[in-house]
Every structure is written in C-alpha cells, then in structure tokens.
Structure 1
Amino acid sequence: MKSGFSLVAIGFALAGQVSASDKMAAPRVIYASASQELGVYPSPYANYLVGRFAMAQGDVSTAAKAMGAASLGDPTDSDLREKAFLISALGGDIDRASKLASGMKPTSDTAELMVNLLGAVTSAKADRPSQALKSIDAVLAFKKNDRNAVLLRPYILAMNGKWSAALDDSGDAALQGNDRDRLLVYLVKADRARLNEIKGKYDAADALYKSLYQPGAASFVFGPDYASFLERRGRKDEAKTVWSAIASQSGDITAAQALKRLDAADYKPPVLPSLKESMAQALFVSSTVSFSEHDSEFALASLHLSLYLDNSSDRERIFLGQIQQELKDTPAAEAAWASIAPESPFYNEATLRRVWAMREDEQLGQALALIDQAFSRDPDNLSLLIEKTGILHAQDKDADAQALLDARIKRVGDKDFGWQAWYMQAIVYDGLGRWSDAETAIKKAQAVNGKQPEILNFLGYGYINRGENIQGGMDLIRQALNVNPKSGAIVDSLGWGYYKLGEYEQALSFIEQAVQMEPSDPEINEHLGDVYKAMGRDIEAGYEWKRVLTLKTTERQAVEVRRKLDANAADRKIAAKASNGTQALNEEPKRHP
C-alpha cells in the first residue's frame, strides 16, 4: 500500500458492505446461524471467533456486529474494542463505530487517525462545528497533509463562521512537496471555488473554476463543477459548451443528463450543494484517488464517511460496489448496485456491473434475465446490446445474437458502433461460421481502434486458424502482445501459430505458458492437448482433453473434445496391438517352468 493509513493494520483481509449505517445490508446467515449454535448469551470470545470467521469470508457487516457484541460483552479488552471499532468504520456502521470510539484510547496509528477523522465527520453531521474543528485539527497534528483532513478543514472552518481562514490560500505552497500533494493542491482549489460560490464571492469562484477546468480528456475531473456554476449564474451557453466537451471526451452520463436538462422546457439549474454535501463530495473524490493508488481499504473507509454525510448519490453507490468487488465481497457489491433504482441515470451502469459479476460466476441465465430488464426499458442502448449479445454467444446462441444485432441496425443504424460493437459483431459471425463477414466486421473495429489487443488477436488468430496467412497472423499477435503481454489468450494464439507451422517445440513453450496464465480456459487447454498429440505424447494429450471437459465449455467444444478423446483412445489401441506383434520378432519366447 502506498498510503500509510491502511486498515489492513488490524490484521484481517478487509472488505466492505453496502452503504452507510442507515442503509446497511442485512447481515448474512453466518451470524444468525452461529448465534443459534452458541445459545442466547454467547461469550465475548465466541462472538470474537464469529467475527474472525466472518472477516475471513469477506463479510464485514457480520464481523462488525459480532466484534461489537464481543467488545460490549468485555469492555475491558481494549484490543478487542479497537478491532471492533475499525471493522465497524470500514463496514460503514458509523454509529456503532462512534459508540466504540467513545472513551477509547487508540494503540495504533490507524485507530488514532480514524477516531479523530470519524469524530470530525460525525460532529459536522450533528451540527457541532467546534468539536468537528477540534477533531480535524487532531488528525492534521498527527499526520500532516492527510488528504481527507486537508479537504474537509476549510468546510469545517466555514461551519464555524471562520470564512477568512476557510478561503485562505496561503498554505497551498506547503502542500506541493511531491506529485501526490500537487494533486491535493488542485483538489483544495476546487473546494475553495465551491466555498467562494457558497459565500457569494462569484468572481473569485469563477476565476478558480476557470483555472482548474481544461478542455480535453481530463475535462470530466473539474468540468462538472464549473459547468454547474455557469448554469447557476445563468450562463447556459457557456455551460453547454463545457458539458458537451465532457460528454464527447468521456461519455459521462451526468454530462448527457445535463445537456438534456439545458434543453428542457422546464429547465432549472442544479442546486448549489450545502457545506455538508460538499464535504461528502470531497470525501468521495479522496476515495477515488485512494482507489487509483491501490489503497482499497482507505478508499472504502473514506467512501463510507462520505455516504454517512450524504447518502443520496448513486454515483457513489456505483463506486462502492466497485471497491467491494475489488475486495472480493461480491454479495456486498451486488447489494450496492441493486440498490440503484431503474429511474436513476446510473441504472444501466449498475446493471452492467451486476451482469459482469454474474458472468464471472458463470451465472449466465441470471445475467441474461437481468440485462433483459434493463434492455426492455432502453432497447437502443449500445452497451446493453453488446452485453446481451456477449451472453447469447457464451450460451452458443449466435443466431439469436445476430438477430439482435440485425434488428438494432435496422432500427437505428450502426453509426454509433465503436470498436467494442464491431468486435462483438465479428465474434458472432465467427461463431456462425461466417468468417468473411467476421473479417469485415473486425476490420471496421480495427479502423476505429487499430491498437486494441483484442482486435489484433482476433484477426491474427483467424488467419492462423484457417491457414490463410499464418505469418501475417502471427505478426498481428506479436503486436497484440506488445500491448498486453500478460494475456494468456494472446500468448496461446502465438503458440497456435507455431503449431500450424509444425514447429511443435515452440508451440509447446508458448501454450504451456498460456495455460499457466489462464489455467481454467478450456480452449487453451484443448490446444495444449493438440500439441501433445502432434508430438506423439498421446497419454498427456488425453489428460489435457479430459481436463477440458471439467471446465466451462460450450456444447460445441465439448463435442469436438470428446471426438478427439475417442480418436486418441483408438490410436492407443492400435499402437498397443502393434507393440504386442513386434515383440515376437525381437524377443525370445518366455520359458515356462
């Protein structure tokens, strides 16, 4: 971890739950079952063991409940109390964490920081600004330039009526010690722009917003705040220019919604966020930065504090699920995404993320049912179309997938197809045995994004597998490997090229590497069996093909592998007979006593 503040310090593999304390997911059956087994009044140690087990399962909600019960049962155990506090904070149960923090004397740096940070947030929410300021200053005294504390302090100063200090920029230079802190300076300026607007200092706010906003690929970072400010100032044309730039560069749903709002007959500008809502947004931004730094635990803790202050953001719930999925807490991620209503502009994204998780668990039927729900509401949505097509292909229903694509193209055309849509079209054509059409589609994808490794791999493997242009296909595969050298599928494709050239030793080297990289991929394992067979290693070939049948294969692939196994068994019988016949020519007959 890059950050010194890591909740892993409590000694567990930590994960998250759905939301802030007022939106907690129902505890899993682990705790209910254990409580029933342990009796009505389980001992603190029994609850502690339940908490340990729940953490090992990635179930923070249950762990927080059990650890909290253990701590209440034995309030003299300071170590247990600290663990329960950290788990509760990480799990989003801020109310329980606050109770545990009361009177607690932290023994670790992690707990010391978290107690004061949580104290600042809970005090701000409870309209106790002086206590919030005392707590946030304690964080900064303990850890200079702590990102959360630096971002929150100006808002807390404003809550205390200390506007001159809140708007003071004299401390910015001291923050620029390294690249990480230089980013923090920009975030501080964005907060100062918001504070100036709240205070009514519109010229100062305008200057700061304008200095932060830069048209281009990163416009979505500071652009939305600037565009919203322009709308509130009645400068709709300028706001539309900024929103259009954001939409064209990032495809951000918020920008798309803003453009619709600007053109609506009943147009109303976005409401200026309050100090508390602005604090929640600052914590959200901090959480995204921590996540980009691969500090998922701190990202989750910051996000839960944000949701505690303002639980209305579906964008934050999307991100909550992302973090929980990263931490291998799939049920919590599913609950976070499922909590987003169909009326939300983030509903389709939430649906797609739920579907991706289901596909990862091979729940194709459930994934298809879920995507159909969203698709029925938005039948022309390209992302939903691509995902449904992919599920149908995975179910060996390429004819249905092609019909879906054809209907969409007939209805609204294909002008909005990006490389992903053309790539999926190529996959479906290939599944139907229509290589000429697949080649046309993949070349359209290549025209959109010629360096995409999936495109290069598909086209190169297609040439190799058909023996049309093996060397040219291998050149495409090598280009794909330069972009993504860790892809087992691409390494396998290069090995398959050597197989088609009859260079079996080279083929074996690459395909064995590919199996190590993607051990559960049925096609790569099938290829390894093919190489073994070509090298005369029939027993190993049979082993690999049998292994393929234990993996998630399509029915078409399973039929082909069974055919290979039958042929291999027949070959071995013939070889055995030949071996027995040869024995009489070069061995003396055995003498019987």
Structure 2
Amino acid sequence: MFSQRPNLVVRGLAVATALLCCSVPQASAQNSLQVGFSAAKPGAPVLLQRSDADIFAATLAGRYAQGVDNPKLAAQAWAGAFFRRTSDLELYDRATAANLEVGNLGMVVRMAKLVPPSARPPKAVLALAIEAMGQGRYQDVVRTLEGQKFSPSLTQFANHLRAYALLGQGQGSKAYDLASQVTGISDLEAAGLMSRALILVRAKRQQEAIALFEKARSLEQDSQAGIRFYSELLLSVGKRDKAEALLVPLAERGTVKASAFTEILARVRAGDKGNVAINVQDHVAIGLLTLVEAMQDNRPPTETSDLLFLLAFLHPTSDEVSAALGQHLARHGYDELAEPYLARVSSDSPYFVATRTELAWLVYSNDPNQALLEARGLVAKYPSSFAAMTLLADMLSANRLDSEAEAAYHNLIERSEAASWSPAETWPLYFGRGGARERLGRWPEALADLRIAKAAAPNQPNVLNYLGYAMADRGENLDEALGMLRNAMRLRPRSGAILDSYGWALFKSGRYEEAATILERAAGIAPNLAEVADHLGDVYWRTGRQEEARLEWRRALTLTPTEEQTKALEIKLSDGLPPDPSRAADAAILAQNRSN
C-alpha cells in the first residue's frame, strides 16, 4: 500500500546515515572507510575519505529532515555538516537558513563568526548585532551594521537597532535622528513611530514622545507592548484620565488580546503612578517589538518570525517578546516551535491568559479532554476574565458538550450586550452559540445566531462554511448556500473542509458530476477526514460508480468516524443509497416498488 512507502524510505535513510556516521577503525594511512564491493572490479575495496562520508551523512540527514518537514532536525543536521567543513559556503548558507527558521540564533551567531564577513547573509549580520546589543557592546552594534545592505524593512529594523546602541552610548539626539531617517516607504516610516517615541522617553523628552504615541494611535497602530508602555508614560506625567481613556476601550472587551490591558487598567484606577524607568534590555526589546508588530501586516509571516526570534535572542526572559513570538508562530501553524515561547510567559504577566489560551488549543490537537481541563482551570484562576470564559465556551463546543457550551455562550452574549459591544466584537459569540444550537437540534434559533454572525463578519470563511453547509445539508436555500460556500472557497482555497461543504451542497442540489470533481479535490487535500470520504462515496453511488462508493465508505470507517456516522456507513455498505426520486431512472424504480 502507498501508506507504507514513507516508512521504508525512513528506514533506508536511517540505516544509511547510521552506517556512514558510525565510528570505525582506521583502514589505511589515508584514514578511510573500506566498502567490500566495487562496480569496476568485483571484490576490490572502494575507499571513501571518512570526512567526506561524515559530511555526506550529515547532508543526507538534513535533506531527509527537510523532506519530512522536521525543521529542528534539519537545522541540527545542516549545522553538523557545516562544522565538518567550515570552508564550504554552500553548507554555511543552508545551515544558516535552517537555524534561522527555528530561531536557533545562538547557532547562527556561532557559525557566522567562522566565515568571512562578506559571506554572511543579512539576518546573520543582524544576529551578530543583536548579540552585541544584549551584551552592552554598543560600539560593536554600530560597527557590525554600518555599511551593510538590507531590504527596506530590514534596513528600518537595523537603523532602529543602531539608534538604541547610540542611545546606550548617551547619544540621544543622534539616536533619534537615525531612527527618523526617511525610507521613502510611508508604511515603514509610520511603523517606526512608537519605537522612536521610546527612544525619546529614554532621552528624557517625554512630551515629544507623547505626541508620537498619539500619532501612532491615530494610524491605528495597536502594538500591545507599545500601548502598555504609553499608558505607563501618561501615568508618569500625571495624565491619569488620559491613560484611563486610552485603556478602557481596549481592556473592557472580551477578546484574548484585550486581556493584556485589564491589569494595567486596574492599576490606573487604583492610583498607580506609572513606571517608564525600566532597564535598558527591556526598553530596547519593547521598542523594537513595537516596530516589528507595526510592520507585520505588510511583511511575509516568515520575516516577522525571523525578527521576533532576534528579539527573543536579545531578551529571552521578556514576557512581551515571548508572548508575541509564541502567538505569531501558533497563528501560522508552527505549533512545536510556538509551545516553549508560550509556556515561558510568567503567571503574573498581563499576557498570561492570552498565552494560556493559545497553549490550550495546541494541547487540544493531541488531547481534547486535557485542553478542556486546562480551560476550566484558567477560569477557576481568573473567574472574571472574559477571555478565559470565552476559551472555556469554545472548548466545550469543540468537545461537543453542546448544552454546556450553549449556556456559556448565552451568558457571554448577555454580558456583552449589557456593555453595548458592537457586532464586530460579538459575532464570535453568536457563531459559537449558533453552532451549539444547531447540533442540539434547535435549528431556527441556530439560524438566527449564524445570520447575526454572518452579517457582522460577511467574509469570515468559517462562518460562511458553517452556515452554508448547515443550510445545504437540510436542503434549504441551496442557491444562497452555494453562493456562501463559493465565497468561502475563494477566501480559503486550500481548505479540504470548505471544499467538502461546497461539494456536498452541489450533491444536495442534484449536480452529481460537479460534486464528484469537487469532493475528489477535497479528499486529496484532507484524506484523513471521515466525512469527506463518506460524502465522496455518496456521490460515486449516485453517478453509478458503486464499487468505488463502497471503497470510500470502507475507508471512512477507518478514519475514526462518530458513532452516528459509523452506523450510517454500515447501512450504506449493506444496502447502498436509497433511490433518488428526482432522477428519472430512480423514480421509475420507486414507482415499480410501490406497484409491487
């Protein structure tokens, strides 16, 4: 079977690597390995230099790790190959790229010091500068970055890093001027506003800093670290009312992101005087973090990851950086890399609820029950946290505890309505309650909730998919359902679940040939979803491909279907599908059966 082939490949590569990497006695004065066969002369040994064999083994392991999507193993393997031959710049490039991908900046720095400066890629140069910054070697930061050529966004990052190094040398005016250099790209210049404001604070120019923070907020920049620092600045200069006005609309909302502002709002109301006299390392990390967060919407996710990894290397104990990096990695599917950064956020951090929420979803993919327990524990610890209660409602729904989930969402909706939240803020709650009500068989109420969610988020693919599928499965408003699902496919074309929904809506519309094409694509993208295989079997049956239908139904039974799906599949395997009265041939069969 095809599913067995990767195992054979893995075993073959593992054996080859083990043979090549193992320690063997010296075979000759050339320190070689003897292999007891030769194509040119049977029986004569083939001599391989052991250093070449070691490099081959390491590069083979690196290629294999990349092939099976194991970036950590690839990073280790390529670095191992490079250290066996540090003169090989191709190996250096591969090893650097692989270690940048997983955030192993210590290794990137170690390797960069072994090659000529001209061979170092831009992000390795930044890593060397970040190391110098973390060690307080400000002159080395400036020296490392001076004259280097970077892309526009990396130039902006490098300029601000140099500016903080100048600030560390007591050159506040030069630092601000460097961070204010015109790039010619308006988005990048705007992205630097909060970072420049932090430089001004360090240079004791508070009022100018407040003006820059105000400008950044007018451009809707919403760096959590930057806004929190700004609120501290307002408190420190006696502008308590302004600090509260800044924080209230951010803190008193139910999103996970809002949970970061609740603690400082409580301090504002308790009379706290604010503190901007933080240590240099914290100051630089927060300043550069505001820059990265402001740039991220216009940059590829991998570049944002690389810059956040640099900040984590600069300040490994920063809760702000760890939370931002962990959430970014999790949001883009790098769960294994995200977990340690999320887990290191301290329990007294304002980012704790947000990062524990993200961690709970990582746990859910392997152990839904444990994830639910963690959600309950978070609510027990933070009973007034709207974000924690929302996580619990979502976890109850994901674990199909629909009665409890419906009640939890209902309570959250009542609280949000009492606080006059906007539809843009409440639609996830209506979406969650609508899903729970639909699964409980309360379709009219569910439909009302789902339509509220769709009206508030008309281009949210999950909402379009759920509502479109629910209507199509009931045979209701099929044209509307097909339209929503086509829009969902446009927004998320590689989603097997959405393709399945669209294919099923075509099936329910009697468009069987079109449905077969779409469901075959869905099965190719999501081969492990029982529902997709079940639906594909149904469409094959309706198009006269009965044997293929039974193959798909049998395959669906191997893909952990629900108890209800299992029973339906067993009936279909025994009896097939009942005739379709909308098709002439099937209608004739039904008429014949009735006459008999």
1:534 shift after superposition: 3.0
Is 1:101–2:112 an aligned residue pair? Answer: yes
Task: Classify 1:367/1:481 alpha carbon distance in 2 versus 1 (closer, same or farther; 3 Å).
Answer: same
Equivalent pairs, count: 530
- Write the distance in 2 (CA, Å) between the matches of 1:97 and 1:484: 35
Residue in structure 1 matching 2:204, options 173, 180, 200 = 200
1:232 shift after superposition: 1.9
Residue type at the aligned position of 1:186: A
- 1:82/1:104 contact within 8 Å kept: no
1:63-112 per-residue CA deviation (whole Å, 9 max, x = no partner) reads 5556556555555556555655565565545444444333521564xx24
Residue in structure 2 matching 1:117, options 126, 130, 133 = 126
Structure 2 counterpart of 1:321? 326
1:166 shift after superposition: 1.8
- 2:160/2:178 contact within 8 Å kept: no
Residue type at the aligned position of 1:229: L
Residue type at the aligned position of 1:212: A
- 1:125/1:309 contact within 8 Å kept: yes
Structure 2 counterpart of 1:586? none
Is 1:345–2:373 an aligned residue pair? Answer: no
Q: Which piece of structure 1 moves more, 546-555 or 49-58?
A: 49-58
- Write the distance in 1 (CA, Å) between the matches of 2:227 and 2:367: 39
Residue in structure 2 matching 1:302, options 282, 307, 325 = 307
- Write the distance in 2 (CA, Å) between the matches of 1:215 and 1:314: 26
- 1:470/1:497 contact within 8 Å kept: yes
What secondary structure does 1:418 align onto? helix
Structure 2 counterpart of 1:146? 155
Structure 2 counterpart of 1:574? none
Q: TM-score, normalised by structure 2?
A: 0.74
Structure 2 counterpart of 1:555? 563
- Write the distance in 2 (CA, Å) between the matches of 1:221 and 1:278: 11
Is 1:158–2:167 an aligned residue pair? Answer: yes
What secondary structure does 1:271 align onto? coil
Is 1:234–2:238 an aligned residue pair? Answer: yes
- Write the distance in 2 (CA, Å) between the matches of 1:474 and 1:332: 38
What secondary structure does 2:350 align onto? coil
- 2:166/2:172 contact within 8 Å kept: yes
- Write the distance in 2 (CA, Å) between the matches of 1:146 and 1:364: 44
Task: Classify 1:58/1:261 alpha carbon distance in 2 versus 1 (closer, same or farther; 3 Å).
Answer: farther
What secondary structure does 2:284 align onto? helix
- 1:219/1:246 contact within 8 Å kept: no
Task: Classify 1:39/1:314 alpha carbon distance in 2 versus 1 (closer, same or farther; 3 Å).
Answer: farther
What secondary structure does 1:561 align onto? helix
- 2:122/2:150 contact within 8 Å kept: no
Structure 1 counterpart of 2:29? none
- 2:86/2:114 contact within 8 Å kept: no
- Write the distance in 2 (CA, Å) between the matches of 1:83 and 1:479: 40
- Write the distance in 2 (CA, Å) between the matches of 1:106 and 1:213: 40
Residue in structure 2 matching 1:128, options 131, 137, 142 = 137
Task: Classify 1:494/1:65 alpha carbon distance in 2 versus 1 (closer, same or farther; 3 Å).
Answer: closer
- Write the distance in 2 (CA, Å) between the matches of 1:294 and 1:277: 25
1:469 shift after superposition: 4.5
- Write the distance in 1 (CA, Å) between the matches of 2:246 and 2:470: 43
Higher RCO (C-alpha under 8 Å, 6+ residues apart): 1
Over the aligned positions, Cα root-mean-square deviation in angstroms equals 4.3
- 1:212/1:222 contact within 8 Å kept: no
1:244 shift after superposition: 2.6
Residue type at the aligned position of 2:173: S
Task: Classify 1:488/1:305 alpha carbon distance in 2 versus 1 (closer, same or farther; 3 Å).
Answer: closer
- Write the distance in 2 (CA, Å) between the matches of 1:419 and 1:144: 35
Structure 2 counterpart of 1:577? none
What secondary structure does 2:316 align onto? coil
Structure 2 counterpart of 1:168? 177
Task: Classify 1:552/1:343 alpha carbon distance in 2 versus 1 (closer, same or farther; 3 Å).
Answer: farther
Structure 2 counterpart of 1:369? 373
Structure 1 counterpart of 2:583? none
What secondary structure does 2:345 align onto? coil
Residue type at the aligned position of 2:112: A
Q: Which piece of structure 1 moves more, 332-341 or 271-280?
A: 271-280
1:334 shift after superposition: 2.1
Residue type at the aligned position of 1:564: K
Task: Classify 1:318/1:563 alpha carbon distance in 2 versus 1 (closer, same or farther; 3 Å).
Answer: farther
1:152-200 per-residue CA deviation (whole Å, 9 max, x = no partner) reads 1211222233333223279634x11xxxx32222234433322222222
- Write the distance in 2 (CA, Å) between the matches of 1:327 and 1:442: 26
Task: Classify 1:233/1:387 alpha carbon distance in 2 versus 1 (closer, same or farther; 3 Å).
Answer: closer
Task: Classify 1:543/1:380 alpha carbon distance in 2 versus 1 (closer, same or farther; 3 Å).
Answer: farther
Residue type at the aligned position of 1:157: L
Structure 2 counterpart of 1:253? 259
1:445 shift after superposition: 3.4
What secondary structure does 2:148 align onto? helix
Task: Classify 1:233/1:552 alpha carbon distance in 2 versus 1 (closer, same or farther; 3 Å).
Answer: farther
1:124-150 per-residue CA deviation (whole Å, 9 max, x = no partner) reads 222222222111214259989723211
1:272-313 per-residue CA deviation (whole Å, 9 max, x = no partner) reads 444443332344345446754564444333223212322233
Task: Classify 1:203/1:501 alpha carbon distance in 2 versus 1 (closer, same or farther; 3 Å).
Answer: closer
Q: Aligned residues: percent identity? A: 25
1:323 shift after superposition: 5.0
Residue type at the aligned position of 2:171: K
Task: Classify 1:164/1:289 alpha carbon distance in 2 versus 1 (closer, same or farther; 3 Å).
Answer: closer
What secondary structure does 1:213 align onto? helix
Residue type at the aligned position of 2:116: K
1:321 shift after superposition: 2.9
- Write the distance in 1 (CA, Å) between the matches of 2:407 and 2:85: 64
Residue in structure 2 matching 1:331, options 316, 333, 336 = 336
Residue in structure 2 matching 1:184, options 188, 192, 201 = 188
Residue type at the aligned position of 1:271: V
What secondary structure does 2:375 align onto? helix
Q: Which piece of structure 1 moves more, 318-327 or 153-162?
A: 318-327
Residue type at the aligned position of 1:550: T
- Write the distance in 2 (CA, Å) between the matches of 1:40 and 1:69: 19
What secondary structure does 2:561 align onto? coil
- Write the distance in 2 (CA, Å) between the matches of 1:260 and 1:500: 54
1:538 shift after superposition: 2.1
1:235 shift after superposition: 0.7
- Write the distance in 2 (CA, Å) between the matches of 1:568 and 1:474: 26
Is 1:270–2:275 an aligned residue pair? Answer: yes
Query: Is there any run of 5+ residues in structure 1 with no aligned partner, and where?
Result: 1-29, 572-593
1:215 shift after superposition: 7.0
- Write the distance in 1 (CA, Å) between the matches of 2:457 and 2:121: 49
Q: TM-score, normalised by structure 1?
A: 0.74
